[in-house]
Structure 1
Amino acid sequence: MSSDHSSVLAAACIEVGLDHTDAEPIRLGENALFRLPGGVVARIARPGQLTVATREVRIAQWLAEHEIPAIRALKDIAQPVQAAGRAVTFWEELPPHRHGTPAEVATAIRRLHDLPVPADLPLGDLAPFVRLAERIDAATTLTDEDRSWLREHLASLQVRYANLPPGLPHCVVHGDAWVGNVVATDNGQVVLLDLERCSVGPPEWDLVSTAIKHTSFDWITAEDYRDFCDRYDHDVTTWSGFNLLRDIRELRMALYVAQRATENPTACAEASLRVACLRGDETRPWPWTPAL
């Protein structure tokens, strides 16, 4: 654990009366997760994310009120807590779990999409391009030519998204519904994780995440994808706006790895491959390695 994380975690735990002795790192990334004694997980957000963290806790509480299986914010404490400019939130630890199957993802997001849009919760509109320009600028392992092309590609997608074809009625969407954020616990529940991107928007955005695992990368079989469509009762690939949302999602995935490559040299080749595919050097399905 870094000294920065250690001091932030200690200050936040002291404020809410939680024991941080022997805190165990779970994941140290943009958001740092720590396992605390007593089945509690602490999440330290990036600097400047107090509003986002507050919103995520409120969304978790709203989902609990509607009995949607999702991560649960710890009850009976005022959160988030601010410590050294970082927002810290506290969550109930999940039982042992695995990544969800396509069918389980479909079931989980269908339950979410069927909820009425809350009038008293400022979810905001889906923001599919959030932080992409910053990630392009920070992708220093890519060539200047690639980054210039990516900026032009991003601008083109933003123009196209402003004219997104009509589809299913807008609803509450998860915003990042891949199999790492929809998990199945050993006690039989399928649980939504990472509510940071939860918002109001086209439900197709959540469906595209699984669709491209078959159509763009061949990571899941045709049978798995048919099962996904049957469980959700819709095939997003038949919609006229599919290619646009596919292109946006693929750009997000490419830039995620490009960002990782600046800190992890082993990701440089994958980052370059993904950009080359976006630029048309390969035909789908692309030989991307899943970045789990």
Structure 2
Amino acid sequence: MTAGSHDETLAVLTTACAAVGLDPSGAKPIRLAENALWRLPGGIVARITRAGQHQPTERELRLARWLSAQGLPVVRPLPGIEAPATAAGRPVTFWEELPPHTNGTIPDLATLIRQLHSLPRPDFPVGRLDPFVRIRDRIDAAVTLSDTDRDWLRDRLADIQSAWASLPEGLPECLVHGDAWTGNVACPLAGGPALLMDLERCSVGRPEWDLVSTAVKLTTTGTISKTEYERFCTIYGHDVLNWPGYDTMRAARELRMTTYAAQHAATNPAWRPEAQHRLACLQGHNGPRPWKWMGIV
């Protein structure tokens, strides 16, 4: 966190609160990243999105209300504020604060994704899944990498995009989360159903994309056991590892994870060794999968 990011987003928050009649006094930052989260008194969380994202943010609000009405446990927008406020070009949305919670478990995630995928499509536009959104921007921002390495990543992106265009048939398209991992599931400490969070990428697309996020934890990073993965498949009812398109989707997910680390390395030195390590893995310098990839907060 930098003072600039704190002060900048606090100014955005103050303006947005004034526009919707909320008092920002006593607001405290929860997370200051691409999307900034602030906690307001009274059980309210404000989410400040990147500039130019008004339409996707508005869609996320509408989807959250629709999903809740369908009976899916999700984060809930604050009642009475129908549209995002805008300050300094950045959309700001307001949500009901979650109770004390931990990240969800692999079974929690499988249950929620199965429920999500079984829903009908909404009767309003939700867009189509774009698994490559912002990857090129991340590569451009990865200034701690050499030009040669960034060119390699761009070529890798082009190759995977080409392979994606000819993916084999799989499960029927449906509403997908887009970033389905346990960090986007909240498990209340006092009990009750786990909740699905961060609906920014929710759209219509191939359900395998949501399943691959867990499968790579077995095959790429080795952060879950075979038993945990089998439990995930049993609950969901499908094993994406048996699908001929898995290698392509795995490659896309690995590229997202690598460029995420590389982008953060440009502003946070703690990420630099990890970014180089992930890149070296993709380039074939660190042996076969699974590789040990660290999560850095």
Summarize the alignment of residues 235-246 of structure 1 with structure 2, pairs less than 5 Å apart: 235-246=239-250
AA partner of residue 219 (structure 1): T
- Decide which of 253, 257, 270 is 2:257's aligned counterpart: 253
1:83 deviates by 1.3
Whole-angstrom distance in 1 between the partners of 2:24 and 2:193: 28
State the shift of 1:3 in Å: 2.7
Cα deviations by residue, 1:150-188 (Å, 9 ceiling, x for unpaired) = 110000001111111110000000000011112211222
Residue in structure 2 matching 1:168, options 159, 168, 171:
171
Cα RMSD, aligned residues only: 1.0
In structure 1, distance between residues paired with 2:8 and 2:290: 42
Aligned AA (1:95)? P
Partner of 2:185: 182
Amino acid paired to 1:44: I
For residues 66-105 of structure 1, the aligned pairs below 5 Å read: 66-105=70-109
- Runs of 4 or more above 4 Å deviation: none
Of residues 154, 157, 170 in structure 2, which corresponds to 1:154? 157
**Cα displacement (A) at 1:189:** 1.6
The correspondence of residues 183-222 of structure 1 with structure 2, limited to 5 A, is 183-186=186-189, 187-222=191-226
Counterpart of 1:140 (choices 119, 138, 143) is 143
Aligned length: 291
The amino acid that maps onto 1:287 is K
Identical counterparts, % of pairs: 55
Q: What per-residue deviation string (whole Å, max 9, x for no partner) do you get for residues 198-224 of structure 1?
A: 010110000000011011111011110
SS at match of 1:180: helix
Q: Which residue of 2 aligns with 1:290?
A: 295
**Structure 2 Cα separation of the partners of residues 139 and 202 of structure 1:** 29
**How big is the shift at 1:4?**
2.0
Q: Is the 8 A contact 2:12 2:88 kept in 1?
A: yes
Q: Distance in 1 between matches of 2:7 and 2:105?
A: 38
Cα shift at 1:68 = 0.6
Displacement after TM superposition at 1:12 (Å): 1.0
- 1:111 Cα shift? 0.3
2:140 & 2:10 partners in 1: Cα distance? Answer: 30
Alignment of 1:115-134 (within 5 A): 115-118=119-122, 120-134=123-137
TM-score by length of 1: 0.97
Instruction: Report the Cα offset of residue 78 of structure 1.
Output: 3.0
SS at match of 1:258: helix
